[in-house]
Amino acid sequence: MNYSQKIEETVECTDLGNKIQSCMDYLTTEIEAVEQTREWAIKNNEFRLQQEINNAWKSHYVALSILKSIREDNERMNDEIVMIVKNEQEKSASVQSANGTDNA
């Protein structure tokens, strides 16, 4: 894998991170709306609605937890790619330096 392919992977990982964050932001607003509806249901003794809301609330939190895990994995992969690119740049620079010394 060459240097430009590694940069492309870094960009793709960053883009994936942005998409994950957008989904997390959306879920957070949905959770807030569900919590407000839940409070209304509790005040009005809507037991059946409370149960449905609790189930929706749990589902939202499970999805949010999964997205957080994916985001963390993506960030780790991105960090690894950046480290690999830096190592390759250092290797390339040292090889060029050695070649320059040999030619002199």
Domains and CATH numbers, the chain: 3-91 (1.10.287)
- Model pLDDT for residues 60-91, shown as the tens digit of each residue: 999 999 999 999 998 898 888 888 888 888 88
Asked if 76 and 10 touch (Cβ cutoff 8 Å), the reply is no
Angle, CA 19 vertex, CA 13 and CA 23 arms, to 5° = 140
pLDDT of residue 4: 63
pLDDT of the residue at 65: 93
pLDDT for residue 2 is more than 70 = no
Reported pTM = 0.65
- Coil/strand/helix, residue 104: coil
Chain segment 21-48, per-residue pLDDT in tens: 888 999 999 889 888 998 999 899 998 9
